Every structure is written in structure tokens, then in C-alpha cells.
Structure 1
């Protein structure tokens, strides 16, 4: 946690002091926090509200507003959504309510927050920015980095020389006759009862395919299964180094906060 003390909603730290605000919209919870951009750490604790059901755009916008108001934050806000976001408009809804498709989410959130600037990006892209800035890829300033979030599916972020190439959706690429996330998502291992070694063989096929297409310099792997990385990374047979994500469940919030002022976007 940052060494800046959190003073409560009525005395929130002011924008413009190396601080930013991020909100991470997930399937089960909407989470937000003030972030110290010098360190990538939260200022105080995050605030979480259960994702409303149905998770319509209007309901989520109201929840985001609640979270921002909880902190008394008055500056710009960064936010993630679990879908493709292009020019502020949601273009896919694989894991969210179909009503999101075609919504100008930046305008929606900005209006809900009284007209303040809002930057919205894909959740995996936010995690990639955060990890490259403060986590597993922080020492790599040149080259191609691919972050993969291994969970129900496979989320992805592609960064070249520190610049994000947004909305990659690598989990939907076909690998050896099967969609990548149907072959090697963490959920597949659980559903099939595979050992970590057997699952790592399938993930290796996916990583090798990505290596052939994108020639990355580093893979960063996130998701809950990254906590066990020492038990399965040694079983991988691809060539490019693989390191576990370090920020884990803070990465979405941190990446969203970073996106507010990040000149790389």
C-alpha cells in the first residue's frame, strides 16, 4: 500500500498530485481505488460493490458512480470493461450483457459522473499496462510483451516497446484445430480434472502458436492459477520466457488509473 495516508471520502487526496483513479468492472464485482502512479499501489483500501444483475450499461454506470463518490474523487477516471472497446464504443460482449454492444461507454460513464473525463479500455489491456509498468514486465522497456489472463477464458494484452496494441483477443485464435481458450484456459483444467503438468502441455501448444505469429520477447501470465506458477511453469516447453503476473487482482484498477494519463495509449 502507498505511504500516502488515505483520509476518507470527505478528505480525499486531490488529483494532480501523482494520483489517479481506476475502476475495474468484473462479472461478480465492480472495484475501485485511488492509485499512486509513482508506485502503482493503492492509496487506502479499494471499494467493491457486487455487480448488479442484470449488468446493463445503465446499472453499471450507476455502480461506477457510487464507487467514485465513495472516495470523494473529483478528477478524471479510468475504467475497464470485459469487452472490446474501440474509440470509446463497446464492440463485443462475450462475457457481459449483450446490451453493451454499440454503447459509447466513455460517454455513458462521463455523463453519469457529471461530465468529467473518463478513459475506458479492455480489462486485459489494463492489466497489461499495469504489469509492464509495475509488475512482471517492469524491467523490459523494448520488445514485444504478451500478457495472458488465464481464467474462464484467455484474455490478452499486446505491448510493443511499451505501447499497447489494444483489443487483441488472442484467446479466440484457433490453435491446432481448437480455439485457444477452449484448449488451455484455467477453467478447462478444472472441468477436465487435469493435473497441472497435463494442462501445461496444452498451454505450451498455445504459447508456441503465439510465438510463431508474434515473436514475443516475454509472456506474462495472470489469473488465479498464476499463484501456482512455480508448480506448472517448469512444465512448459515453449521457447520464450514466461513469468507470473505480480499485481494479480489489483492490475485492472491500476491499469485503468494509469490509462487516464498514459501517453502510450
Structure 2
């Protein structure tokens, strides 16, 4: 795999330190990074539990990160539409018992326009910024050349577009049709992979990338997320597989990458 990779702990870490959080449908991860992206301590992880109202998530993140070294600011990637630190959609988290289960109408209401950045700031006592997880992962790996597409494959599917290094408005392709009446999430998410097997799932991934290539004529596509490692065989010259640590390392860009527009 190519792309961002975690740097080992630095001998003399440079401040400010960033608490980088990756919120996923199956796991919550966090790490503290120094000013150049080197690890200050080892990553921590716990399973995502359900049902998961916003307040419970904030408390779980506080407990997860409590053992980590002190930090100066917080950056979090969230699996849904985020604007100005407010959650607009939480398709995986607003469910009865996790991804693939029924949506909980009460949780949908609780997540709608929830100020996650504000809640994390209040609970953790440090300024926090929040963006879509695919946007955050992309910030760590794009090269700033032409139109670059980032696809994350995990519990669900995420996408982010960058043009000449600048993040474009977020689009939730995961919920649009890919094949017959099934969406990208239905076809390429973890539940689908377990159902149809890795061989058929790999064929679906290639079909999905080909569809996105025909749709937007990207110059390069980066595939990340936990299931990128399950892609078998050679990929096209305009496609790269990237390490899943980018989901955490991109958090630094929420504070240092003003040109990305992530902190606006």
C-alpha cells in the first residue's frame, strides 16, 4: 500500500499535540500526534457499541482517550455528512443495533444537526474540529494534482473529491445507486462482503471504481479504509491503495491544512 503511514514516536515531539479520532461503525480509534504527524503514544481502540446516541458517543470517546498523553486540540473524522462541525447524517450510527439494522427514528432526530465539534470541545476541554471521515482520510493522502478521488471501504463506503489539493463539497455517493436497486453501501460495505464473499466483492469494487471513473474522470483514485487490504490482484495505474492509518493522520490537516477548507 502507498500513502500516509504513521511515523514512529519522535524523540522530542513538537507541539502542538493533536488528538486525532476516527469514528467508525465498528470501532472507535484515537491517537495523539505531534506537530509533524509523528505518534506521541500508541493508538487506542474500542468497539463501537449500539444503540449510540450522540451523548453516549462523546462519553465513549472521553473514556477512550483518557489514558493518552495531554494534547492541545482535537480532530475527528465522522462517518456521515458533516458541515461546520455539525452532523447532518449518521446512517450507520443512528441504527437500532449497528450497521445493517433498522434506523431508529429517535436517534435520527438526536443526530440531526448535532454539534459534535462543540460537544467534544466542552467534554474534552480542548478546541475540536470535526469533518467527514473520507474527507479527513483524503487530506492525508492526496497529492494536490488534478481531480483526486478518495474512496474508503469499511463498514460502509465513503468518498471525497479534491481538486488541485482543495477539498470539494462533500457528496454522499454511498447512498446512490450502483447496481440495479442497490447503493454503493449495499454493494461494497462490510455486510455485503461477508454475504457474497471476497471474490465477488472484489469484482464489485472494480465495477464501482469504473463507474466513478466514467462519472467524474478522476486523475487518480485512492482507496483506503479497513477493507482496502482485502482488495486482491493488481489495481489500475490510476488507482492506489492507502494505509488505514490515514484516517487518523488526516486529522492533523483539520488544523494545518487551511487550503483544504476543512476548518471553514
Please state if 1:154 is matched with 2:157: yes
Taking the TM superposition and a 5 Å limit, the aligned residue runs for 1:68-83 are 68-83=65-80
Please state if 1:112 is matched with 2:113: no
Name the Cα RMSD after superposition: 2.5
Match among 209, 212, 232 for residue 210 of structure 1: 212
Q: Distance in 2 between matches of 1:155 and 1:166?
A: 13
Is the contact made by 2:20 and 2:32 (CA closer than 8 Å) also made in structure 1?
A: yes
CA deviation after TM superposition for structure 1 residue 68, in Å: 4.1
Runs of 4+ in 1 over 6 A off after TM superposition: none
Aligned partner of 2:102 in structure 1 is: none
Taking the TM superposition and a 5 Å limit, the aligned residue runs for 1:1-265 are 1-5=7-11, 15-16=15-16, 19-38=17-36, 40-97=37-94, 98=107, 99-114=110-125, 116-132=126-142, 140-178=143-181, 179-193=183-197, 196=199, 198-229=200-231, 231-234=232-235, 241-245=238-242, 247-248=243-244, 250-263=245-258, 264-265=260-261
TM-score, normalising length: structure 1: 0.78
Is the contact made by 1:200 and 1:232 (CA closer than 8 Å) also made in structure 2?
A: no
Q: Distance in 2 between matches of 1:243 and 1:78?
A: 25
Is the contact made by 1:5 and 1:44 (CA closer than 8 Å) also made in structure 2?
A: no
CA deviation after TM superposition for structure 1 residue 186, in Å: 5.0
Is the contact made by 2:144 and 2:166 (CA closer than 8 Å) also made in structure 1?
A: no
CA deviation after TM superposition for structure 1 residue 37, in Å: 4.6
Aligned partner of 1:137 in structure 2 is: none
Is the contact made by 1:221 and 1:243 (CA closer than 8 Å) also made in structure 2?
A: yes
Aligned partner of 1:136 in structure 2 is: none
Q: Distance in 1 between matches of 2:71 and 2:240?
A: 37
CA gap of 1:161–1:172, structure 2 versus 1, over 3 A, is same
CA gap of 1:107–1:91, structure 2 versus 1, over 3 A, is same
TM-score, normalising length: structure 2: 0.79
Aligned partner of 1:10 in structure 2 is: none
CA deviation map 1:200-238 (0-9, x unaligned)? 443333223212321101111123442243x3345x7xx
Q: Say which structure is richer in helix.
A: 1
CA deviation map 1:124-146 (0-9, x unaligned)? 211111222xxxxxxx3211111
CA gap of 1:58–1:189, structure 2 versus 1, over 3 A, is closer
User: How many residues align structurally?
Assistant: 239
CA gap of 1:53–1:173, structure 2 versus 1, over 3 A, is closer
CA gap of 1:210–1:112, structure 2 versus 1, over 3 A, is same
Q: Distance in 2 between matches of 1:145 and 1:65?
A: 34
